[in-house]
Structure 1
Amino acid sequence: MAQWWALMIGNSRLHWGAFADYTLQGIEHTDHDTVGTGVQQLQYVASVVPRQTTWIEAQFPEARVITLRDIPLRHCYPQLGIDRALAVWGAGQHYGFPCLVIDGGTALTFSGATGDRQWLGGAILPGLKLQFKSLAQATAALPEVNLPEQLPQRWARETQGAIASGITRTVLAGVNDFIQAWQAEFPQGKILVTGGDGPWLAQHIPRLIYDPALIFRGFQALKEP
């Protein structure tokens, strides 16, 4: 079996996918400027961080940089993030169109495609961890709070609990609002969640299908004959 790798350069980390022919074998996450374990034939690269793209091209000059022109979704706008397009393409190819992808990464994004493989649109807001961090950094007295595993008490009686309640509950309310709007228009459409905070979102919104490999399913679909 032919082995090859694909790389998604994210805002915070590098995400490496190892393939054997057309089957994903595993995913590894590394810091920027760090090559994944055992990476040899890097075939595809997609990136939202230009500086890291330049660094990777110096390490793997044979790698092909994927752009929106390579994604067979109709009506994508020029500034659309390649990570969002790849995830939607991978979700649609694996689970079927129409599909909605919720990516719980550094940014929390919503990306939808219709049944005829047309980009529907979406939304972007700061991710869960970024909201906790930015609140602490932009204020003099508020502490930085970690994302709690369990949903916190709504009416908190101390500051850390109030921050946890405010961020988690408003994010979940917003995600559910987008889901309801999606289901009203596409009642049979699949709803997928991915990204670092994907398991947390899936834990608290059971209707979501968690799949950490959507972007790599997109790479796989581009590779398949």
Structure 2
Amino acid sequence: MLLAIDAGNTNVVFAVHDGTEWRGRWRIATRPDRTSDEYAVWLLALFQHSGLKPAQIDRCAIGTVVPAALYNLRRLSREWFEVEPLIARSTVHWGFDIRVERPQEVGADRLLNSLAAHHHYRGPLVVIDFGTATTFDVVDADGGYLGGVIAPGINLSLEALHKAAARLPRIGIGRPQAVIGRDTVAAMQSGIYWGYVGLIEGIIGRIKAEAERALKVVATGGLAPLFAEGTTVIETIDPDITLEGLRLLAERNPVPILQKPVREIP
């Protein structure tokens, strides 16, 4: 089985794939100083609850945009699952060209999204990821990664609005019933929601105009369904696209299983 680890700026997602389907998905807040032992205590309890055993894991793939978290995630794979992890970076075999000036600067999540989106939906297409940042990644018809757009994430914008304006409260994101807000909270919700709908439609429109062709639009991230309600430009929602990218990358880049130490019997 494959243990896929997607370490983002906000959460680390762990998932197990048995070769046919995803057997479980669990998330924990990203904390770069969290040790491999802390991860293990938490994760193995969830394994037991799901009827999984550590010995069943024979592959591990890690994608992270938080370099400081990688050390302990790698130790988790090596020490607790005895598997050498595959690290998603620009130097591994992706099966497509990364057509940007500095491939090493592209976040692993963006390449993983592009890999899975092309595999499942073909191209050309755009992947919108509603994460800590809102990213738009453009994939060519042959699967090549062409670059994209990075905008502030919705929750970052909400937090900045609250912190920078003394009288504006911290609010949750939701689709407002009307564009014109009748109180402060409604006005803020409208500005964030319809402002981001405008951002999505504007950027997708400009990408299509620059590409001079039709592009499929796939969205992922927890807020994708909410924003898909407010616009017709999002055609498909795929919540597992990053994990699918890790699964596909692991298939293309087999790594050796660490040999268990031989213990002499006294």
**Common fold, TM-score beyond 0.5?**
yes
1:211 maps to 2:234:
no
SS state at 1:78 partner = helix
SS state at 1:25 partner = strand
Query: How does the TM-score come out when normalised to structure 1?
Result: 0.89
Regions of 4+ moved over 6 Å = none
Alignment root-mean-square deviation, CA: 2.0
Return the offset for 1:133: 1.3
Partner residue of 1:56 out of 65, 68, 73: 73
CA distance in 2, matches of 1:220, 1:22: 11
Partner of residue 107, structure 2: 81
Partner residue of 2:11 out of 13, 22, 26: 13
Partner residue of 1:128 out of 149, 154, 159: 154
Higher gyration radius (CA): 2
Q: Deviations over 1:102-131 (max 9, x none)?
A: 001111110111112222221111111221
Partner of residue 62, structure 2: 45
Q: Percent identity, aligned pairs only?
A: 25
- Asked whether the 8 Å contact 2:61–2:250 carries over to 1, the reply is no
Return the offset for 1:177: 1.4
1:170 maps to 2:195:
yes
SS state at 1:204 partner = coil
SS state at 1:73 partner = coil
Name the count of aligned residue pairs: 222
Superposed counterparts of 1:129-208, under 5 Å: 129-148=155-174, 150-184=175-209, 185=211, 187-208=213-234
- Asked whether the 8 Å contact 1:18–1:26 carries over to 2, the reply is yes
- Asked whether the 8 Å contact 1:22–1:220 carries over to 2, the reply is no
CA distance in 2, matches of 1:201, 1:60: 36
- Asked whether the 8 Å contact 2:5–2:14 carries over to 1, the reply is yes
SS state at 1:143 partner = coil
Unaligned stretches of 5+ residues in structure 2: 79-83, 253-266
Return the offset for 1:47: 0.7
Partner of residue 256, structure 2: none
Partner of residue 220, structure 1: 247
- Asked whether the 8 Å contact 2:2–2:17 carries over to 1, the reply is yes
Query: How does the TM-score come out when normalised to structure 2?
Result: 0.76
Partner of residue 69, structure 1: 91
Decide which moves more: 181-190 or 5-14.
181-190
SS state at 2:104 partner = coil
Q: Which has the higher strand share?
A: 1
Q: 1:187 and 1:153, CA in 2 relative to 1: closer, same or farther beyond 3 A? A: same
Q: 1:154 and 1:142, CA in 2 relative to 1: closer, same or farther beyond 3 A? A: same
SS state at 1:156 partner = coil
- Asked whether the 8 Å contact 1:98–1:186 carries over to 2, the reply is no
SS state at 1:27 partner = strand
Decide which moves more: 18-27 or 88-97.
18-27
Partner of residue 119, structure 1: 145
Return the offset for 1:165: 1.2
